[in-house]
Every structure is written in structure tokens, then in C-alpha cells.
Chain A
Amino acid sequence: MKQKNYKGWLYLLPAIVFLGIFMVYPLIDVIIYSFEEGYSFVTQTSNGTGLYNFRYVLHDTYFVQALRNTFIIVIITVPVSTGLALLISLALSSIKPLRNAFQTIYFLPYVTNTLAVGLVFMVLFKKTEYTDGMVNLLIHLFGGKTVDFIDGPYWAKMFVMCLYTVWIVLPFKILILTSALASVKEDYYKAARVDGTRPFRIFYKITLPMISPMIFYLVITGFIGAFKAYSDEVALFGTDLNSAGMNTMVGYIYDMLYGNSGGYPSFASAAALILFAVVFTITCINLMVSRNKIHY
């Protein structure tokens, strides 16, 4: 018995060592930093312990701005992208000709580099000396006024941001949902048809419950992903997100660590812990709400 135990631990050793060095140790370090006031990497010293870091971060207008941006992105993009992906998947699975072609097209954004996609969005939305961007050309066509989407009003920037996020997460969700829809057995639909079930009831009573685990998975990972948004913002608005007013929580943490203002690991750690608390809470709420609605 004992020997078997040794063997088990031995097999686990590589994973444990790596996880320990690269996950557990930094995690503990972050927690320690967040309570050490004014810790400096250079001197390896701090001037006291306490909750000052948290107090500072929560009162920092840039952090509040980042928190608000993150929440707006999460609340808009997760439901919209999931709903849209479901609609597109349903459409895809109900057509036969060209289904594969469409599936490939919808999947393209997933394999495209974020920064390259950012460039495309620039062409669409960026106002330069030579052109107002393609979207503005369209707006002109319908008699509207030029909107500066990249350097203009907050709502315009947020609109582009959300559009971008939805577009970038859509392919993966469509991929998951089309395969989920395909896995629902044809017999269920046949049985429902013989019983004269109307399409909406079939969708609501059969399709939706059957793919509910997948939808739930997408919502959870969608929430977590959106809370961790950062690179997409950089792709659209550049690295100085604070002055663009489009910073996110991860962006704020990054800025605190390395950015122009640079070198405040304690504040960064505190902000990271706050982000963790938020994501954790939301995920728990998700799990509780969905417990009775998901049919595995």
C-alpha cells in the first residue's frame, strides 16, 4: 500500500513541481505583495503592511474607469455573442448546401491574429487625414454626421470595443454550438414531429435543454474571458489605454506593473486580487443560478 502511494506521488511530481513554481508560488506572492505597502522590486523592501493598497486602488479614478469598462464589456458582449452564436448555429444546422463553406468563413476570425484584426477594424473605424473610415462613409451615405470611433466620444469607442469583442469570440462559440446541435439525436425531432410539435416548442423544450450544458460552458468561459480582456483593447486603442479612457482591469494591472507609470507591484497585486474576487463571485452566481436549468 505504502509503496503504491510513493509511486503515485512520483508520477504527480513533474506536474506538482511546475504548478508549484509557476502557479502556487506566484499566487501566494501576489497575496503577500497586496498587503505590503509600497513594495519595491529594486530594494526588495516595503514600508509596512496593511490594507492601504486596496484602499488606494479602489479610490483610483483609473481603476474605477477600468472596472466600469470591464463590466460594460462583460454585460454586453457575453449575452450578445452567445445569443448571436446560437442563432447562427441554428441557421447553419438548418441549411445543407454551402454549410461547410459558411462554417469555414465564420471560423476565420478565430485563426486570425488579434492585432491583424485590429488593423482591419482601424480601416473600418479610424479617422485619418485622408479618410473618415469605411463605417463613416456608410454613415455619410445615409446622411449622418462623422463619428470619431477611435478617438471620439466614449459611447462610440465602447461600441467599437464591444463589436470587436463579440466578433472575435463568435467563431469559437459557433463551433461549439454547431457541434452541440449536431449531437442532438434526429429521433427526438422525428418524435416531436409525429406529435405535431411546433418549431418554437421543439426549440424551447427539446433543443435548448439538450444543448444547455454547452451554452452554460460558453457563458462561464465567456464571462471569465471578458473579465480578462486586455489585448483586444490594445489592438484598437493602443497601449495608452488610460488616456483613451478604455482601460480594463487587466490593463490597469499591467500598467501598474510595467506601464508608463510603472513599478507599483503592490497596487497591481491588490487590483489582481480584486479582479479575482469579482470573477470568482460571478462564476459562483452563475453556477447557482444554472444548477436547476442545466440538463446533463
Chain B
Amino acid sequence: MKIRLEHLTKRFPNRNKKIKEDVIAASDLTFEIPDGKLIGLLGPSGCGKSTTLNLISGLETPTEGRIFFGDNDVTDVPPENRGVGLVFQNYALYPHLTVEDNIAFPLGNLRGKDKLTKEQMHERALNAAKLVQIDMLMERKPNELSGGQQQRVAIARALVKMPSVLLLDEPLSNLDARLRLQTREELSRIQHETGITTIFVTHDQEEAMSISDMIVVMKEGVIHQIGKPQEVYDHPDNLFVAKFLGTPPINVFEGEMKDGKVYIGDEAVLDIESRETKKVYVGIRPEGFIPTGDGALTAKLNKIEVMGRDTSIVAEHPAFLGTTIRAIVPSEDVEGISGETVRFNLKPKKVHLFDFETEKAINETGTEA
């Protein structure tokens, strides 16, 4: 099912009654989610991503704007008639029911011609359980399951109705690191097997990048960028998106465009086509540094952290915004670096320029200085 949001806005009255202004949880969201894809709604906490999910599920009604499933306007359709499956952050499994009864619970709500017999319910529940590989745990109670298993039960319960849209609110946040890796692959597999349009909310950019067909980056209720994970990473529209994606985060310097060169401090680090003169933010991805003895950018060397395959060079620079620069380089390139300073050449594709006032990206592909 294709999903289209048009100018979707949600305002809440401010909890502090002295403040008259409403809290805007989602502001003028317009985007389209193609059928059968896995979408990651990504943003820092409080950015309105969960509200957006609740709007799509129907648990919240938008203040303005419309929501379309396919060609149908579902804005005023109650949640139960939208055909959505929702997985909650804490799973919301009914603790007094067995796994099977939990999964079959939505089926028990069907009435009239859709009403199922006990056998049909059992079969549907079993199929859903098999899909998430928990069919051997059907008699257990939720508190006898591990976090990952509970998560699967919650997904099975959401899938059992055969929804046209699957919504997951922070599906991996309650799992430990190892399980998170495993489960996110599982999630991707289930989505591919069922082909259900799936939207999941996360604040973890790595999670979103790794399994999404498309990511939507949000901040303070506003969409900052939509696109394929790699494209968004390679071509961030603004400074926020650039900073939010990638670990370790992008290194941001205060800099200047002048005479077809980009300057950080006094050093020209990159050649560009534009001859404009203005102040800019220079964002350099950690993997964009090439340490060489005669490099264009000089920084004060703090320490070298060995991580095996890669090595992380921690350095300082007066124009750097933040505490320490972090460069990730292949371990074999580090030999010979020692002493007080380190010099880098920059990979042009890994350097992004942003307007100093608007923080919008400046489309300049530079060449090595």
C-alpha cells in the first residue's frame, strides 16, 4: 500500500498552561512512501517521529492535512479500519495471555462474515508465529520470554491481521546491542517476505541506514531530508542531517570560500569552482582524511586509537567546532604519524560545505587542493 501524507500538521496544547502557544509535534509533513518498502523515520528524541507514526496509525488525529493509503483518504478513518499493524516500543503484550492468545487477540475482534472459528484462528496465529520463528513458544506467557522473543510476538500480533501497513515504534530500542543487530536483519527479512509497506521509527541512525529502503530525517516536527540512506549520507541537504548521520559524526569546521578555494584557518584545503567569497561550515566525514606528511590541513595530534581494521586519529584544530576531530583511516596509513602535529589531505567527496547563515548545503564539488 502506497502511503501519502499531505501537509500533515499536529499541534498539542502546551502542558504548561501559562504558555499559550501550542506545541507543534509535526509540521506540514508532505511525503510519499512507495508500496512495499521499508521506511525509517529518523530523528533525535522529541522530533515528532512517534507522533507521525501515531497519525498514520490513526491513534492521533491530525490538526491539519490529509493521509492517503493508496488512493483512499483515511484521515477520518478510525485506526481499526485502516488495516494497520502497530508494534509498540515496549511491545504492549498482554501479560495474562499466552503467546498464542496474544497473537490471536486481534482475530477475536473480527465479527460478522469475517468471524473466524477457533481452528482458523489457531492456524493464522501459528502462521504468523512461524514467520517470526516463535512457533515453539506458543504456550508461554510474555514474562517467560526474552526481550527479543517478546519483540517477535509483538510483530506476529501486528502481522496476524494481514495489515496493509506495518508500523513499528522504536522496535529495537529495548534490546541489547547483539540482539539489536540480529533483530534488525530479521525485521528486514520479514518485511521482504511479506512485502508489507513498513514504517519504523528510530533515533539510531545506524539502525535506520542499515535496513531502510528510504529514510526520512526529522527534527522538531519538520522533515529535513528524504531519500535512500546512502544518498542522504553522501549528499546531506543541511548541516543537521550531515551531523545526525554517521558514526563517528562528521567533523565540522568554521571556514571560508575565497578565490576558488576553501580555507580552514589560513590553510587552503580544497579547490572549488565557485569564486564567491563567504563564510561556510566545512563538514568532513571521519573517512575523508588522508594523513600525509605534506597534507593541506594541519592539526594538533592528541592520540591515536587502534581499533584493528581501522585506526582513529584524534586531533585538535582552532577552527574546529566541538572538542576533538576524529579521523578514521586504514591502519596501514598511520605508520609514521607521531609528534605534535598531523597533516591531512582531504577526499573532496567526503567534504560538505554549508552556508554559515542558513546551514543549507552548498553544491560544490571540490578537488584536492
Interface residues of A (CB under 8 A from B): 185, 187-188, 190-198, 201, 205-206, 209-210, 295
Contact = CB atoms under 8 A, between A and B. Distances in A.
Given A191-B86, A194-B80, 10 more contacts: A185-B92, A187-B88, A190-B92, A193-B59, A194-B84, A196-B106, A197-B109, A201-B109, A205-B94, A206-B94
Majority-rule SS of B interface residues = mixed
A210 B109 contact: no
A190 B88 contact: yes
B55 to A, nearest CB: 13
Interface residues of B, number: 21
Contact of B108 (A193, A201, A210): A201
B274 interface: no
Nearest to A195: B106
A209 B96 contact: yes
A188 B58 CA distance: 16
B105 A195 contact: yes
A4 B212 CA distance: 61
Contact of A191 (B58, B81, B88, B95): B88
B109 A198 contact: yes
Contacts of B61: none
A185 B59 CA distance: 15
B96 A194 contact: no
13 contacts: A187-B92, A191-B86, A191-B88, A191-B157, A193-B59, A194-B57, A195-B105, A195-B109, A196-B80, A198-B109, A201-B109, A205-B94, A209-B96
Nearest to B95: A295
B104 to A, nearest CB: 11
A295 B96 CA distance: 6
Contacts of B108: 201, 205
B161 A190 contact: no
A89 to B, nearest CB: 19
B95 A194 contact: no
Contact of A190 (B59, B84, B105, B109): B59
Interface string B290-326: 0000000000000000000000000000000000000
Contact of B59 (A194, A201, A205): A194
Given A194-B80, A196-B106, A295-B95, A187 B59 contact: no
> Across chains A and B, which 8 residue pairs bring their CB atoms closest together, nearest first?
A196-B80, A295-B96, A195-B106, A187-B92, A209-B96, A191-B92, A194-B86, A194-B79
Contacts of B94: 188, 205-206, 209
B127 interface: no
B30 interface: no
A199 B157 CA distance: 19
Interface in B52-95: 57-59, 79-81, 84-86, 88, 90, 92, 94-95
Interface string B93-122: 011100000000110110000000000000
Contacts of B84: 194
Nearest to B87: A191
A198 B109 CA distance: 7
A207 B80 CA distance: 19
Given A187-B90, A201-B109, A193 B80 contact: yes
Contacts of B57: 194
Contacts, number: 54
B59 to A, nearest CB: 6
A41 B94 CA distance: 60
A210 B93 CA distance: 12
B46 to A, nearest CB: 19
A66 to B, nearest CB: 41
A280 to B, nearest CB: 29
Contacts of A187: 88, 90, 92
Interface string B169-186: 000000000000000000
A188 B161 contact: no
A242 B84 CA distance: 67
Contacts of B106: 195-197
Scoring A190, A193, A194 by chain B CB atoms within 10 A of each residue's CB, the highest score goes to: A194
B112 to A, nearest CB: 12
A194 B166 CA distance: 12
Nearest to B102: A191
Contacts of B80: 193-197
Scoring B85, B88, B92 by chain A CB atoms within 10 A of each residue's CB, the highest score goes to: B92
B79 A193 contact: yes
Nearest to A189: B92
B92 A196 contact: no
A201 B90 CA distance: 22
Nearest to B167: A194
A136 B105 CA distance: 52
Scoring B85, B95, B157 by chain A CB atoms within 10 A of each residue's CB, the highest score goes to: B95
Contacts of A206: 94
Contacts of B95: 210, 295
A196 B109 contact: yes
Nearest to B107: A195
Nearest to B96: A295
A194 B58 contact: yes
A93 to B, nearest CB: 19
Contacts of B161: 195
B304 to A, nearest CB: 47
Given A187-B88, A190-B59, A201-B108, A196 B81 contact: yes
Nearest to A209: B96
Contacts of A295: 95-96
A268 to B, nearest CB: 45
Contacts of B58: 194
A194 B154 CA distance: 13
Given A195-B161, A201-B108, A188 B96 contact: no
